[in-house]
């Protein structure tokens, strides 16, 4: 086997796909395309893993931050055109599996060590790397009519990172009750302005330190 070239171990820059790309072998098409894989893998929009990515995409669209391809391992999820770093967390009452009761709503918001894909190194420091957190709740409570594509079934809680850092209770997660004590739910159309306002609060808090 040929030795891999050193340059082949550099970061792979993903390119935006359109779904028409064909699976192939020996120079021939295998008879199925990338779009068919997308349909097969992410059609269950209520599943935890897919719902989390969907929530990121919805927030990205609201903030006009959807130009780049989603990065799996960045220290934060989105960057707005004005440079605001945003972390998106999602939760839902309704799950894909059988439930005896609706799920309690809690969002993880723990500190993490940052990781850089360019160097494959983690930071020593553990903290919250985003400027603003958006907690996206799929608040609809009927399995018969749940539709994550219906933006009216979502509500969003926008919090500056400084507010989370100052909390006296758990620094690992936050409940819906605690969120409602520090901010009000937003609709999709209100997200952009709310994120900008929270970012200004974050900037002022940082400057005051």
Q: Return the domain boundaries, the chain.
A: 44-208
Strand partners, 89: 135
Q: Which residues pair with 87 in a beta bridge?
A: 133
Predicted confidence at residue 131, as pLDDT, reads 95
pLDDT at 114: 83
Which two structure tokens, joined as six digits, stand for 50? 């897919």
- In this prediction, residue 126 carries a pLDDT of 87
pTM of the model: 0.90
State how far the Cα of 78 lies from the Cα of 85, in Å rounded to an integer. Answer: 6
Tens of pLDDT along 109-157? 988 888 877 778 888 888 899 999 999 999 999 999 999 999 999 999 9
CB 11 within 8 A of CB 115: no
Enumerate residue ranges in the chain where pLDDT < 50: none
Q: Hey, is 170 helix, strand or coil? A: coil
pLDDT value, residue 3:
63
């Amino acid at each position: 086997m040929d030795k891999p070239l050193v340059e082949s171990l550099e970061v792979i820059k993903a390119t935006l796909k359109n779904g028409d790309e064909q699976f192939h072998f020996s120079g021939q098409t295998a008879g199925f395309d990338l779009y068919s894989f997308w349909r097969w893998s992410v059609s269950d929009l209520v599943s935890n893993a897919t719902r989390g990515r969907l929530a990121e995409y919805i927030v990205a669209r609201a903030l006009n931050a959807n130009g780049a391809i989603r990065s799996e391992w960045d220290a934060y999820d989105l960057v707005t055109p004005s440079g605001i770093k945003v972390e998106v967390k999602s939760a839902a009452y309704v799950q894909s599996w059988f439930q005896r009761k609706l799920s309690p709503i809690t969002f993880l918001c723990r500190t993490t060590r940052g990781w850089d894909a360019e160097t494959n190194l983690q930071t020593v420091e553990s903290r919250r790397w985003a400027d603003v957190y958006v907690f996206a709740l799929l608040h609809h409570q009927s399995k018969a009519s749940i539709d994550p594509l219906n933006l009216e079934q979502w509500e969003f809680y926008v919090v500056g990172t400084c507010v989370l850092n100052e909390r006296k209770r758990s620094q690992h997660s936050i409940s819906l009750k605690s969120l409602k004590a520090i901010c009000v739910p937003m609709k999709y159309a209100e997200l952009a302005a709310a994120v900008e306002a929270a970012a200004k609060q974050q900037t002022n808090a940082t400057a005051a330190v």
